Structures are given as structure tokens and as C-alpha cells.
Structure 1
Amino acid sequence: MPAAPRIAPATLFTPQEWRPFQSRSAWVGPLLVLHCWAVIALAVTAGVVLPWLIPLCVMIVGTRQLGLAILMHEAAHGGLSRNARLNDFLGHWLCAVPIGASLKVYRPYHLRHHRFVQQPEDPDRMLSAPFPVTPASLRRKLIRDLTGKTFFKQRILLPLAQARSNRPEGGGAKGMIEAAHDYESIVTGRSVLPFLIVNLLLLAGFVAVGLWWAFFVLWLLPMATWFPMVTRLRNIAEHACVEGGTDYAFRAARTTRARWWERAFIAPYWVNFHAEHHLFMHVPCWKLPALHRAVHARPQGKAMEVAPGYLDVLRTVTTRPAP
């Protein structure tokens, strides 16, 4: 199968118009990583000082854990720093490892997704292929996320299956991992040891200040519940029920117009501008809103899939009638 269709910037822009989207900042990427951890720290502090805010803080921390995954994604495209070593250090140790991912593993996987988006060779195709589904099917998936079942499968069962697959008698485990590869394996469990080390260090920090319980309630609980759910919503919104991407570059993905509360609790760091990202994947994430406006000022931009919000996306992908 040939690679997915591409367009050149010159198709839409003059060299002068395109130049601002080419430049990368030396400081915005590191500041975004700092911002993400600062929001997590503030939410944890708020939950400790005002325990009645804990449910809200769990949602905020879980969304910023997704934010770390998004910034890892930015690093996979070399967008966190002009310096390649700093880009990879930030993307791996400060973004990927704390949530159980690996930039080294994720980068080739994700670039293959870009190369073959929505084609049989696309490793993410199985994330969008089942849609549309029934409302009951989606509801079951979200309940599994919020009750920790997805987390248990991702963090316990899949790493154990992978460990077995490395043994001569464990040949069937690889098939188990592949069969289990639905949305959550985008953030892979293959970085188990660094994940455990970093999280033990975090736990030690909480213990040192006499707040051991906050690690479990305000870091681990969001990772086990809200983070999987918003990761699922993100992946559904990006490609599910978008037709024509195998033939037309402007239909490779969906952009979702995110309101302030959706940016705060579902889609941080401009991840909702996914159609623009697939058109020009090396444009830094913080420039995607401007790119969105520029593309949609052209006639070709009218063909792109743009949803008014995440609730609208969920209505679109749950149109299959119940059997």
C-alpha cells in the first residue's frame, strides 16, 4: 500500500505566509513541560489543602497526565526543543516515563501512523475501525476506564503478557498483546522499570513531606481513571468516522473545536487541532490554532472534518443502532 496522500505547503501558502509556521522556539516547549507539571502540583496542593476539591483535582491531574502524553507526542516530532538531545530528554524523562511510556518506542510507531494514516498498515487504525458503535458499547468502554479496569489491563496484564512473550514457551502472549491493542496501547506499558522507578521517587517525595496518601489519591488514582478516559476520547475524536483520508490529505483526521472547559478537562495543549497536525506534522503544537485559521481561510480547508465539540463527536460515533 502506498503512503497516505500528502500536500506541500506551497499548495496553500506563499513562502512568506508559510515562514512563521516553520520556525521553532527554544523556550516554548520547555515552558509547556514546566506548565504541565506546575498545574499538576497546584492541583495536588489544592486537593491536600481542601479535600472537598479532590474529585475536581483528580480530573485536572488526569487531564495533565494526558498533557504529558501530548508533549511526548510533540517531542516525537522534534517540537519541544531545537536541540535534539534536550527535546528527547524532556520528551522521555519528564513526559513519557512518569506515565509509563517510552519516547524511543513511541516515535517510530507514531511516525508509521502518519505515513499510513487510515490505511491497513496504520498501527492506529484499530482504534477508529470499530466506529460507529452503539451508545451502550461506548458507555461500557468509558465505565471500564473510570473504574480502573483499563488501567489494570494496560499496566499489569499487558506488561506481564509481554514478559511471557520473551520466553520460548510464551509465544501466545504476543498475540494477546496484539489482540489487546486498542486505544490504551498508544501510551505503552513497555517502559515498566523506568515508570516504576520514577513513581517510587514520587512516592518517596510524598512520604518525605508526610503526605503518602496524596500519591495514591492525587497521582495514581487520576492515572487509573480519568487519564484513560480522556485518552480514549482524544483518540475517538481524532480519527473515528472520518472518511476519505486514504485518498485526500484534507480528510486524514478531525479537528474538534474545544471550549475552555474541554481544553481544561479533555484536550490540553491544542491536541484538538488534529486535522491540521496531519496536514503539516512538523508545525509546533502551539502554532496549530493559527494554522487552523490560515488553512480554513483557503477553499481547500472547507473539506476538512471539523466538529463543534467533543459531545458532538460522541454523537457522531454512536450512531450504530443496538442489535
Structure 2
Amino acid sequence: MPAAARVDPKAYFSPTEWATLARRSRWKGLALLAHAWGVIFAAAAMAVIWPLTLPLAVMIIGGRQLGLSILMHDAAHGALHPNPRINDLAGEWLTGGGLARYRAYHLGHHKYAQQDEDPDIGLSAPFPITRTSLRRKMLRDLTGRTFFKQRFGDLVRRLKDRAPGQPVLPILVEEVRRKRRWLLGGVVITLVGGAFGVWWAWPVFWVLPQATWFPVITRLRNIAEHACIARGEPDPLRQARTTHAGWLARAVLAPYWVNYHCEHHMFMHLPCYNLPRAHRLLAGKGVLDAMLHEPGGYRTVLARATSRPETPAATAAAAG
């Protein structure tokens, strides 16, 4: 199948407008990274001082973990910094790692958006689903089952499939090698936290949000971006959805303008901080009505994505 249709910026913006939108700042992307880490440390400090605020801290930190993923996503498009070397170093070492692997995967998603070859098509294909099905999925997210499957499912499979008599140690060594940056981060956080008497900082303030709130909001973000969009959709203005996000949604669900997803797919190399301006310009030119966008926010998108009637067959499928 041919690649998804692309959008020509000249069809919507003047040369001056496009030059302003496409300009990559030398400091804004790095400032957003500093902001994400600053919020994470502030939320952790809040929970240390007032332990009863831990659930709130988990939500805040999980939201900024998603924010770091979004900034790595910008780096995958070369939009985090105008210097390619700084862009890649920051995207690899200051966001959680995995940039090169993610870039190859994600650019395939853009090339074949909503087509059969889209590596993310499986995330949007099942929708709409039932409310029961979504509740079950979110329960798996909140209880860490999704995290465990994604993080350690391959290890479990390799241990189960090993030949009789095959030693376990080489498999475990390979797993440590694969996760070395994640584990190195744990060592660093533990050492720094230990200096301040909070040696348990990594499992509580990093792994716990990563295993609970982060999967939930990642699922909700994926639903908002591509659920209930026709498979094989030919219109590049309707292959992704922009969703209105108020201040609370931006704080815990949609950081760093990730909700402007239609604009991102239309102009995938724009830095995230320029997407709101692109949205306003397109609205002023009357283009917004042709785009896929949801002014009602995430609640409205979720209502549409869970509009499948509850039936015995659907309930049984959700249970499976």
C-alpha cells in the first residue's frame, strides 16, 4: 500500500508564517526537559514532606513521565533542538532512553498513518469498545499488569521457551543489558536519594508512577489520538485527532501540547511548543472544520470510543 498522503505547508501558511512555525529554538526544548524533571522532583519532595499526598504525587510524576516521552518524541522528529547532536543526546539521555529504536518505529507510524502498514494500527483498530472493556484495561494499567507485561513479558517468554537444560543466567544477563539504562537510572536515583535519607525514592517515586498512572494516561492519549478513525482513511487532515485540553488535563493527562495531534500529523516536524500557534492560524483560516478535532475534550472522545453496546459476547471478550 502506498504511504499516507502528506500535507504541503504552503497550502495553509505564508512563507513568513511557516518560517516562524518551523523554527526550532535552542532553549525551549531544553527548558521543557528541565521543567519536566523539576516537576518530578517537586512532586516527590511534596510526598516526602506530606506522605498523604503520595497518590497526587504519583499522578503528577506519571504525567511528567509521559511528558518526557513526548519530548523524546520531538527528538525523534529532530524538533527538540536545532543541533542534531544535541537533539539526539538530550532525547536519549534526558528522557528515559530508547530514542533510536523509537524513531524507526514512530516514523513508520507517520509514513503509513491509519493504513494497514501502520505499526500503531492495532491500538486504534478495536474501537469503539464497551465501557466494561475499557474499565478492565484501565484496571490492568492501574494495578501494574500492563507495565509488567510490557517491561518483562519478553523475559518471561524467553524463560518459558528455553530448551531443557539451558542455563538461566545468560538470559538474565541479556535482560540486564537490554534494560541497563533503566536500571542505571535506578542506581543513580537510589544513590542520590540515599544521601537525603530517601533510599527508596526510585521504586516509590519513579517505578510506582511508571507502573500505574503512566500506562493509564498513555492509553487515554492513544485513544484520543486515533480511536474511531477509519482504517485506510485517505484524508491527511483526518488521520489523527486534536482534542481540547483544559489546565487540569494538561497537568495530568496531556502535557506539552500532545493534544494537538492532528496538527502534528499534518506537519510532523514542528516543535511541540509551536503546535498551539499552528492550531490558531489554521482556525483563523477556516481550516479547522476540515480537520479531525474534538472541542468537547477527552470525556467526549472516551464516550465515543466506548459506545459499543454491552452484550454477553462483548462482555466475554472483554473478560478474555
TM-score, normalized by length of structure 2?
Answer: 0.89
Q: Does the CA contact (< 8 Å) of 1:5 and 1:246 recur in 2?
A: no
Report the counterpart of residue 317 of structure 1 in structure 2.
Answer: 305
Q: CA deviation at 1:157?
A: 1.4
Instruction: Give the letter for the 1:138 counterpart.
Output: L
The percentage of aligned residue pairs carrying the same residue is 51
Q: Does the CA contact (< 8 Å) of 1:58 and 1:222 recur in 2?
A: yes
1:127–1:244 CA distance, 2 compared to 1 (3 A): closer
Q: Does the CA contact (< 8 Å) of 1:114 and 1:278 recur in 2?
A: yes
User: Tell me, which stretches of 5 or more residues in structure 2 are unaligned?
Assistant: 165-175, 312-320
1:38–1:200 CA distance, 2 compared to 1 (3 A): same
Q: Does the CA contact (< 8 Å) of 1:250 and 1:300 recur in 2?
A: no
2: distance between equivalents of 1:195 and 1:214?
Answer: 14
Secondary structure of 1:42's aligned partner: helix
1: distance between equivalents of 2:101 and 2:47?
Answer: 34
Secondary structure of 1:10's aligned partner: helix
1: distance between equivalents of 2:71 and 2:63?
Answer: 12
Q: CA deviation at 1:214?
A: 3.1
Larger Rg computed on CA atoms: 2
Q: Does the CA contact (< 8 Å) of 2:75 and 2:88 recur in 1?
A: yes
Report the counterpart of residue 172 of structure 1 in structure 2.
Answer: none
Aligned residues: 299
Q: CA deviation at 1:164?
A: 8.0
Report the counterpart of residue 2 of structure 2 in structure 1.
Answer: 2
Instruction: Give the letter for the 2:149 counterpart.
Output: K
- 1:27-78 Cα offsets, whole Å, 9 max, x none, are 1111111110000000000000111111111100010011111111010001
Report the counterpart of residue 181 of structure 1 in structure 2.
Answer: none
2: distance between equivalents of 1:310 and 1:13?
Answer: 28
Q: CA deviation at 1:134?
A: 0.3
Q: Does the CA contact (< 8 Å) of 1:244 and 1:252 recur in 2?
A: no
Instruction: Give the letter for the 2:262 counterpart.
Output: A
Q: Which runs of 4+ in 1 moved over 6 A?
A: 162-165
Q: Does the CA contact (< 8 Å) of 1:242 and 1:305 recur in 2?
A: no
Instruction: Give the letter for the 1:321 counterpart.
Output: P
Report the counterpart of residue 185 of structure 1 in structure 2.
Answer: none
Secondary structure of 1:250's aligned partner: coil
1: distance between equivalents of 2:17 and 2:110?
Answer: 24
Report the counterpart of residue 304 of structure 1 in structure 2.
Answer: 291
Q: Does the CA contact (< 8 Å) of 1:250 and 1:301 recur in 2?
A: no
Report the counterpart of residue 120 of structure 2 in structure 1.
Answer: 124
Q: CA deviation at 1:96?
A: 2.7
Q: Does the CA contact (< 8 Å) of 2:24 and 2:271 recur in 1?
A: yes
| Alignment of structure 1 residues 1-323 onto 2, 5 Å | 1-97=1-97, 102-161=98-157, 191-243=178-230, 246-307=233-294, 308-323=296-311
Report the counterpart of residue 173 of structure 1 in structure 2.
Answer: none
RMSD (Å), alpha carbons: 2.0
- 1:141-183 Cα offsets, whole Å, 9 max, x none, are 0000001111111111134446888x899xxxxxxxxxxxxxx
Q: Does the CA contact (< 8 Å) of 1:244 and 1:251 recur in 2?
A: no
Q: Does the CA contact (< 8 Å) of 2:189 and 2:201 recur in 1?
A: no
1:318–1:144 CA distance, 2 compared to 1 (3 A): same
Q: Which stretch has the larger CA shift, 10-19 or 190-199? A: 190-199
1: distance between equivalents of 2:260 and 2:36?
Answer: 19
1:216–1:296 CA distance, 2 compared to 1 (3 A): same
Q: CA deviation at 1:204?
A: 2.0
Report the counterpart of residue 184 of structure 1 in structure 2.
Answer: none
2: distance between equivalents of 1:150 and 1:143?
Answer: 9
2: distance between equivalents of 1:299 and 1:291?
Answer: 12
Q: CA deviation at 1:215?
A: 2.6
User: Tell me, which stretches of 5 or more residues in structure 1 are unaligned?
Assistant: 170-188
Q: Does the CA contact (< 8 Å) of 1:241 and 1:317 recur in 2?
A: yes
Report the counterpart of residue 179 of structure 1 in structure 2.
Answer: none
Q: Does the CA contact (< 8 Å) of 1:249 and 1:279 recur in 2?
A: yes
Secondary structure of 1:107's aligned partner: helix
Q: CA deviation at 1:191?
A: 4.5
